Amino acid sequence: MIESGEMQMSFRYFEIKPYLCSIIDEYRHLAEEKGIELKLNYVPDELYVLGDKERLKQVFTNLIHNAIKYTEQGRVEIIVEEEKKFVNIIIKDTGIGIPESDLDRIFERFYRVEKDRSRDRGGSGLGLSIVKHILELHNSTIKVESKIGKGSKFYFDLPT
C-alpha cells in the first residue's frame, strides 16, 4: 500500500522545533530505559519547513526508533542545520553501526542486517523503505554513513 503511488500527501509549512520536541518526547522513556541520552541540539525558533507533517512523523519515528534500538550505550542526537533554502536534518547514534557491504541495501523492503543481531530486536525490515519512499515524495533523499561499532548517521534535507 505504502508503495502503490497512491499515498495522499498534504504539504504545509510548519514550525520544526515544537514538532521535533513532541516526537522526541514520545521516545524519552525508551531511551531512559536503555540508559541512552536522547538529545535535540539547538534549533532556532520560528524555523518553518515545508512537508507533510503526518508522513514526516513516520520518517522521524522510524529513524529515532532505529537509532535507540540499535544503540547499547551513548547517545542519540537530532541535529537541524539551517541552510539558505533548506534544512539538513541529521539523526546520529553511537550504536552498533552497519557493515559497509549492507549500506546500499538497508533501504530495501524487508532487508535486515545479519538476521542474528536483528532477531532479538524485533522488526520487519520495512521501516527504512517507508522512510525512503516518504522522503522521495518530498523530493528528498535519505543518506547514511556508518561505522561498525562506532555508530550511524542518517540525514536528509527539507525545504524551508
Applying CB under 6 A, the residues found at the interface with ligand ATP are: 62, 66-67, 70, 93, 95-98, 106, 111-113, 118, 123-128, 152
How near is the Cβ of 78 to ligand ATP at its closest, in Å?
13
Query: Residue 13: beta bridge partners?
Result: 50
In terms of CB distance, is 43 or 59 closer to ligand ATP?
59
What are the cell numbers at 149? 561499532
The answer to whether 133 and 109 have CB atoms below 8 angstroms apart is no
**Which residue carries 507533517 as its cell?**
53
Q: How far is the CB of 124 from Mg ion (least distance, A)?
A: 8
**Residue 99 near residue 84, CB atoms below 8 Å:** no
Contact call for residues 96 and 71 (beta carbons, < 8 A): yes
Complex with ligand ATP: residue 93 or 157, whichever CB lies closer: 93
- Are 85 and 159 in contact by the 8 Å Cβ rule? The answer is yes
Segment contacting Mg ion by CB under 5 A, of 7-15, 28-36, 40-48, 124-132:
124-132
CB of 51 or CB of 95, closer to ligand ATP: 95
Distance of CA 89 to the CA centre of its chain: 9
Q: Does 94 bind Mg ion (CB under 5 A)?
A: no
Closest approach, Cβ 62 to Mg ion, in A, equals 6
Binding partner at 125 among Mg ion, ligand ATP, none, C-beta below 5 to 8 Å by kind: ligand ATP
End-to-end CA distance of the chain: 29
Residues in touch with Mg ion (CB under 5 A):
66, 127
